[in-house]
Amino acid sequence: MMSRHPWDVQRRKIVLGLAGVGLLAVLLFAFNAHAQKAPKSELQLLTLLNGTPVKIGTLTSTGSSVTNATTATPFTVTGGKVVMIECDGAAHVGPGSSASATATNAAYKPKVSAAPERIYIVLQDAADTVAMISSSGTVNCAYFEMR
């Protein structure tokens, strides 16, 4: 039997080491190629988690409280959804059967202060009404459900 030369043993170790490093490099590259990038903003994260906005209807107020059932073109609200509301003027809007601009009133809603500001609301499962009141003049608030 022939004995191996010490250089053959070293060469074999080097080749196996390089093959292992090459395999790790290929696996790392494949992992990075398939990894999802982190969202760049809260809006991107919200869209990834809840879907894209689909317009359901428009709330129109001329200074009095309106709901999805009493607006010019009534529409249905589905509870348990994340909704986006975008107004063309200043208004108070949120879930409930009536809206008020007075902070001490039980029907007070968060204010959408300027167009085209958007607010996102998570509706409770039992929520079936969204109310809105314009701060001044006629204001239209588009109602979107995230799907």
CATH number of the CATH domain containing 49? 2.60.120.10
pLDDT of residue 36: 67
Residues 27 and 96 in one domain: no
Residues 121 and 95 in one domain: yes
Residues 73 and 12 in one domain: no
Residues 24 and 51 in one domain: no
85-105 mean pLDDT:
83
**Residues 122 and 146: beta-carbon distance below 8 Å:** no
CB proximity list for 66: less than 8 A, separation 6 or greater: 59, 60, 99, 131, 132, 133
Domain that holds residue 141: 42-146
pLDDT of residue 111: 78
Residues 4 and 65 in one domain: no
The letter for the amino acid at 38 is: A
pLDDT of residue 72: 93
User: Which is more confidently placed, 86 or 6?
Assistant: 86
- The β-bridge relationship of strands 118-122 and 66-67 is unpaired
Average pLDDT, the chain: 83
Confidence grade of residue 2 (pLDDT, cut at 50, 70, 90): low
Report the number of distinct structural domains present in the chain. Answer: 2
pLDDT reading at 33 higher than 70:
no
Residues 58 and 22 in one domain: no
Predicted TM-score (pTM) of this structure: 0.69
pLDDT of residue 97: 87
Determine the Cα–Cα distance for residues 39 and 45; give it in Å rounded to an integer.
Answer: 6
CB proximity list for 142: less than 8 A, separation 6 or greater: 55, 57, 58, 85, 86, 87
CB proximity list for 68: less than 8 A, separation 6 or greater: 57, 59, 74, 75, 76, 77, 129, 130, 143
Residues 57 and 108 in one domain: yes
pLDDT of residue 118: 85
Residues 129 and 64 in one domain: yes
